[in-house]
Amino acid sequence: MEKLQVVIRGNSMWPTLDDGQEIFCETYVGQSIHKGQLVVFYHPFNKDIIAVKRVKYCESGGLFVEGDNPDPTASDDSHNFGLIKLASVIALGM
């Protein structure tokens, strides 16, 4: 599988990932996605934004994702935009 390098922007994934940190991900081609896994996806309201969040739960309609930052105002996630569709997933954290 192809690897994808992603640079974290912002503090939504702190303390796990820091602003400016580079991570390597595996390109998503339909493999299973599990609770607790990092996903890289196109933001549902702005396709120019690529986001990295943690899967909190999976449903048939999509994934509920959240940032790791305990400050609820630090992350634009499923609390704001609901479930993300699997079609928007680009890569999975390794």
Q: What is the pLDDT of residues 12-36, one digit of tens each?
A: 999 999 999 999 999 999 999 999 9
As a whole number, mean pLDDT of residues 42-58 equals: 95
d(Cα 35, Cα 38) in Å, to the nearest integer? 9
Q: Could you give the number of structural domains in the chain?
A: 1
Q: Is the dihedral of CA 77, 94, 92, 33 positive or negative?
A: negative
CATH code, 13: 2.10.109.10
Write down the pTM of the prediction. 0.92
Strands (E), the chain: 3-7, 22-27, 38-42, 50-59, 62-66, 89-93
Q: Which domain holds residue 72?
A: 3-93
Tell me the two tokens of residue 54. Answer: 């943690």
Q: Is the pLDDT assigned to residue 94 strictly greater than 80? A: no
Q: What is the per-residue pLDDT across 56-72, written as a single tens digit (0 to 9) for each?
A: 999 988 999 999 999 98
